[in-house]
A and B are shown apart, each in its own frame.
Chain A
């Protein structure tokens, strides 16, 4: 073997060793659909789909790596300057690919399913983050995303803090002696309120905030018969702050569905921001804020501020 060749091999070895530590030690893996294993090598260009997913990625310090978000991602403020891939249930396969992501993090329920199939098969790691409407779901989302981003330590700190928040929230709930019944009005089309029944995100937030869902007899978000809302006799009407027109107390309580309800008599209308329904890092805070609005007389204590709950953007939108 010539000296030249030897030195070349040596250089190769040196290069290899010099290169190794800088690259991610080994690819992170998560199990995808059909039991396939998804390998994640590069998290420098992320598309996040779903408000909670986006918030978690930012909270874990990877906001700078997010290159595009979906329409439901409105927090933190930095997302507003990012390209938007549209509504999470009506994604475009080529549209998502066109922003050249190295990783797609999508909340469960993103669609349409055919497009998800194409994206999952497109050689870009596509991680589905399971959805759920309780404390465990929030923690699971953070753990999964922290694992994917190789940020287990930060993730642990985050889940610890959030577990604490949920414990504090439990204490707040314990102070509520007589639960109020609330109805969540998502939209009012032609005088018919679309409300949130059981198995919805709002049902989960109500449970966390110590509030009874007046419409739990039905499931999903659906238009409700006015009489059914009347019969449920809600103490509070909760609505979306973002869709304010037509949802102010004036018009709302003038609707036949609400006139004469305890909510209308006390004029208790609580507008909430869409992140209340996200089941992300701010959920415990959202549930406590909701409880504070529904039970103003209890003077419920605030939860400690966290890095991911800066008030500057609390209004959503």
Chain B
């Protein structure tokens, strides 16, 4: 226990570290966004990209052949795609940070512990069995049901995970991973079963739900998912102080006046909302929620406010950068973005496990 006198010093130092990390993350995000708009299978000169945005800001579009095509690529493909990867990456990273705070366990990544997979299961279930029921509604209204279904799927799995894996406010790594693997396997099996039964055109995209893609980004999807993302971002920042207290222990948090029951419930709902919406628009993308919070804890320290802010910025940056790789490496074809994040994230995960193997009982 640190003494009361040294606490403010420690806090100000950690705040300074936090500010630096956030600034660096912000710069990386800006670089990723600019690169994502400028780089793709279609070669467009940077000046032309600027010109297209000039046109767009003036409310017009270029009319001659090549410039018109480039405008479509920039404004209708790369821009929504970039916005989507920034939001999804931010939501997965922030969701990971909050989930890890609630479980007081750094391995609670939404994709790793079955939360994302459950969201995908609910989404597929909805598309096959539920969608016809609301197809008569305007597409924007009907569209909301998909992230809602994914939200419910991830909510149920997170609650289940918490109920099973947590004992007296503590979650052991082994229990968390075992429970998570079981829930994830169940949800993946369910997804496979539903797709097998449906077997129709739309559902042959099993890879979309298991490896993710931002290739279908459009403004409607973004508009529908945005409220869920904003709820996660704003809500998790508000809960950051409570999560800091919770890190000391459930009883300690309660003694400093935190309603831990509400804190945990609110956190789980927020994570489910953000992760569910992310999965509903871009499938299951792994490792962002593990790698980003971990990197930031190393640089920004354990305080949740700078951690979550950093996650929002750096998570968006990493997924956007991964998506640039996904769409250019095999151009004109495209690889699933989840493959790219897994190639980046899985070795990092192995490194984490290796480094902590004594703590993990190896």
Contact = CB atoms under 8 A, between A and B. Distances in A.
A122 B336 CA distance: 22
A63 interface: no
A270 interface: no
A271 B78 CA distance: 44
B285 to A, nearest CB: 15
Nearest to A93: B77
Interface string A76-120: 000000011111011111111111100000000101111101100
Contacts of B215: 91-93, 112, 114-115
A216 to B, nearest CB: 15
Contacts of A68: 332
B55 to A, nearest CB: 15
A96 B330 CA distance: 12
A117 B218 CA distance: 9
A222 B196 contact: yes
Contacts of B333: 71, 84-87, 90-92, 95
Interface residues of B, number: 32
Nearest to A109: B201
A219 interface: yes
Nearest to A131: B201
B332 A124 contact: no
B316 interface: no
B332 A111 contact: no
A220 interface: yes
B77 A99 contact: no
Interface in A133-155: none
B132 to A, nearest CB: 16
Contact of A86 (B68, B204, B334): B334
A84 B332 CA distance: 7
Given A93-B215, A98-B40, A123 B334 contact: no
Given A92-B332, A94-B42, A99-B332, A122 B76 contact: yes
B207 A123 contact: no
Contact of B216 (A85, A96, A115): A115
A44 B215 CA distance: 27
Contacts of B327: 92, 94-95
A121 interface: yes
Nearest to B41: A98
B199 A122 contact: no
Question: Which of A91, A94, A123 has the most CB atoms of chain B within a 10 A radius of its CB?
Answer: A94
Most chain-A Cβ atoms within 10 A of its Cβ — which of B72, B327, B332, B334? B332
B333 to A, nearest CB: 3
A98 B332 contact: yes
Interface string B101-138: 00000000000000000000000000000000000000
Interface in B52-83: 68-69, 72-73, 76-78
A107 B201 CA distance: 12
Interface in B167-200: 196, 199
Contacts of A123: 68-69, 72
A187 to B, nearest CB: 15
Contact of B334 (A92, A100, A109, A122): A92
A95 to B, nearest CB: 3
Nearest to B80: A118
B331 interface: yes
Contacts of A71: 333
Most buried by A among B78, B201, B213: B201
- From B78, B218, B333, name the one whose CB has the most chain A CB atoms within 10 angstroms: B333
Contacts of A83: 332
Contact of A112 (B68, B205, B221, B330): B205
A121 B199 contact: no
Interface centre among A86, A90, A123, A124, by most chain B C-beta atoms within 10 angstroms, is: A90
Interface string A41-71: 0000000000000000000000000001001
Contact of B331 (A92, A112, A122, A222): A92
15 contacts: A71-B333, A86-B333, A86-B334, A91-B334, A92-B333, A93-B77, A97-B41, A98-B331, A109-B201, A114-B216, A118-B76, A122-B72, A122-B77, A123-B72, A124-B69
Interface of B: 40-43, 68-69, 72-73, 76-78, 196, 199, 201-202, 204-205, 207-208, 213, 215-218, 221, 327, 330-334, 336
